[in-house]
Structure formats: C-alpha cells, structure tokens
Amino acid sequence: MPDFELSEDYQDLSDMVRDFADTVVAPVSAKHDQEHSFPYEVVSQMAEMGLFGLPFPEEFGGQGGDYFALALALEQLGRVDQSVAITLEAGVSLGAMPVYRFGNEEQKQQWLPMLASGTALAGFGLTEPEAGSDAGGTKTHAHLENGEWVVNGNKEFITNSGTDITKLVTVTAVTGTSERSDGSVKKEISTILVPTDTPGFKAEKAYNKVGWNASDTHPLTLQDVRVPEANLLGVQGRGFANFLSILDEGRIAIAALATGAAQGCVDESVRYAQERQAFGHNIGKYQGISFKIARMQARAYTARLAYYDAAARMLAGKDFKVQAAIAKMVAGEAAMDNARDATQVFGGYGFINEFVVSRHYRDSKILEVGEGTTEVQLMLIARDLGL
C-alpha cells in the first residue's frame, strides 16, 4: 500500500520515467502533434523500458508491479506529452487489463505477453454513437452461430484501435435480453475479444481532434465479424459490470495523467516567469503572476493527493469507486484550469503550438470528458452521499 511519501522503488521508477519524458518524449512532441503522427519510436522505447507491463505478473511477461506504479509513470509522461501518456494508459488499463482481470488462463497466455511487452496494443470497445455516458444503451449485438460469435455494430472514440501494432479490441455487445419484474426488457451485455485482422472488422478514418493529436483514435465498424465462441471474455452477461470496474480503475490512471499535465503547466510557468522580463523585472516578481502560479501548484498538489489516496485504497482491497471519481474530477479540472492559467502567463507564446502549454490547453479539455465526464463523477459522488 503506497504512502504519501514514495518508497525508494516507487521514487526510482518515477525518476526514471521523468528523465525519459524530458530527454526522449519532449523533444519530439511538437513534431508529432503538428503532423498528427503516432510516435512509434517513443512507444517502442517505452516497451523496452517495461512500462506496458508495469502492473502485470512476471508469468505473463509483466514487471510484477502494481497499478500505483503505472500511475506514477503516467504522471511523469503527462507532464510533457498527454498523447504519449494516454497511449500507455489506454494500452494498459483499457486494453490489457480486461484480459488480465476477466480472461481465462488460455486467453491470458495468448494475449497478455504481447500486450505487456508493448509489442502489441489493444483497444477498449465500449463507446458507441448513441451510447457514451449511458453505456448501457449499447446497440452492437452478437449471437452464436455454429460455434462462433457473429458481431455487428459500431464503436466510437476508441483509443489505440488503428495503429500498425494494434492486435485486439475488446468489444461490448448485446448477446441476449431478459424481462424485468416490471415487464421491461433488460439487455444482456457481454464482452468479446476481436482480433483486428478478423474479416469484417474495420478501423475507420482517424478523427481530426482538437488535442491528443499524436494519440490514435478511430471509429470502428464491425460487419458480420466472426470469432470463436471461446473469445467470450468472462461470464456471458457480465460484460457491462466488468467494464464499469475497469473504468473505476482507469479513473485513477487518468487522474495521474491529469496531475502530470497540471504539474507540467506549473513547471513551465515557473521557468518562463523566471526568464521573461517586463518593466525591468522577471515577471515572476509580480504578484499577478506569482500568485497565479501558486494557485496552479496548489491544484496539482491536491490532485496528486487525491489519486494517491484512491490508489492506496485500491491496492489495500478497499472500496475506491468514489475516491477514484473524486480524483478523476479534481485532477481533470486542475489540468484544464492550470493550462488556461499557464497560457495566460506565457502571453502570446502560449498561443503558439510549439510551446507545451499550448498543447496542454488543447489536450486537457478531454480530461473532463473521457473515461467518464465530470458530470458522471459528480453523479457517483452524490449517490454515495445518499442524494
């Protein structure tokens, strides 16, 4: 169970990823952002470092670490490049983790070694054109036919779904219905493993996004996709519940990424305020600037404490759903608020894309939307209060 003071192992990991982020990731971030290109060379080096295997046991090719280790890595990457950070986050917590949590031994042996090594990526096929926050409105459907699942439907906003190394997408689909006591119909939602080379599976043209330009995001079409019956992940009809638990964990990871983004804005603003001259002084000498940066630091500090606490509860086997929701909301808002303030500190330069604060300004908004909107987090918190 991690303490608020990092142990030596956690600190060494954080320092290692921080150095990698500063020396390898940051120098190419503007280029990939401008070109909307996936940073294969960076992902390859992350794979060599073992980052994709951090929370998985060694028997499946992992590093034998835990989810908090992943969160620390995401925070350091998120400081300099949110696209790279979300590639790791989605590859691990959304792509590989469902296989680890709910897969049988054969499925784990087939998929986890390549996913944990980072030589392959997997996507999390939940969101649909008409099923976002209301993921229970899933319309993609699957039925058994001659020992195969036949899957038809569409997915939206799926990260890591169309790269050259994407090998798998875990898809939610309606596999049956049942009648509730009030006579209404309840959908039976299951999860099915769909290799991306399966006929009928297609990653459509990548989105032209506001931010996260170096992250791979596509809509997906599944037309008469046939996979073996054994590709059912977990128990039939438990897919929706399983994905909700994956999202609970993922909110800790997103909170860590957002904390990194918030801290990155602080670090860049401090550096700039100590260098930039106006009216005969460094601009950091003026309270209008120094107080703004001080508030930014308070936001980043609070966000970090929130995700540390949620991660500690998770690793201790305690309920962490509400704490993860709080961490995700607080950190996402901290990233967005700090990006806005950092852009103000930088003035005109904050509006130039080659500067990291401008990318944070574009990138951070999705942190209040993806993996559960701020409104969804507020709903979860309010429910816990009995409201």
Q: Which domains are seen in the chain, by residue range? A: 8-121 (1.10.540.10), 123-237 (2.40.110.10), 241-384 (1.20.140.10)
Q: Report the 3 state secondary structure along the chain.
A: CCCCCCCHHHHHHHHHHHHHHHHHHHHHHHHHHHHCCCCHHHHHHHHHHCHHHCCCCHHHCCCCCCHHHHHHHHHHHHHHCHHHHHHHHHHHHHHHHHHHHHCCHHHHHHHHHHHHHCCCEEEEECCECCECCCHHHCCCEEEEECCEEEEEEEEEEEECCCCCCEEEEEEEEEEEEEECCCCCEEEEEEEEEEECCCCCEEECCCCCCCCCCCCCEEEEEEEEEEEEHHHEECCCCCHHHHHHHHHHHHHHHHHHHHHHHHHHHHHHHHHHHHHCEECCEEHHHCHHHHHHHHHHHHHHHHHHHHHHHHHHHHHCCCCCHHHHHHHHHHHHHHHHHHHHHHHHHHHHHHHCCCCHHHHHHHHHHHHHCCCCCHHHHHHHHHHHCCC
Q: What's the CA gap between 190 and 104, in Å, rounded?
A: 15
pLDDT of residue 367: 97
User: Catalytic amino acids?
Assistant: 371
pLDDT of residue 135: 66
pLDDT of residue 185: 72
Cβ pair 346, 272 in contact under 8 A: yes
pLDDT of residue 2: 47
pLDDT of residue 297: 98
Q: What's the CA gap between 152 and 166, in Å, rounded?
A: 20
pLDDT of residue 308: 97
Q: How many C-beta atoms lie closer than 10 Å to residue 176's C-beta?
A: 15
pLDDT of residue 1: 47
Cβ pair 44, 28 in contact under 8 A: no
Cβ pair 342, 299 in contact under 8 A: no
Which residues 6+ apart lie within 8 Å of 245 measured at CB? 101
Model-wide pTM > 0.85: yes
Q: What is the mean pLDDT of each run of 10 residues along the chain (387 residues)?
A: 76 97 97 97 98 96 96 98 98 96 96 97 92 79 96 96 97 87 80 97 96 97 97 93 91 98 98 93 95 98 97 96 97 98 96 93 96 94 96
pLDDT of residue 183: 66
Q: What's the CA gap between 214 and 26, in Å, rounded?
A: 13
Q: What's the CA gap between 54 and 66, in Å, rounded?
A: 6
pLDDT of residue 34: 95
pLDDT of residue 5: 82
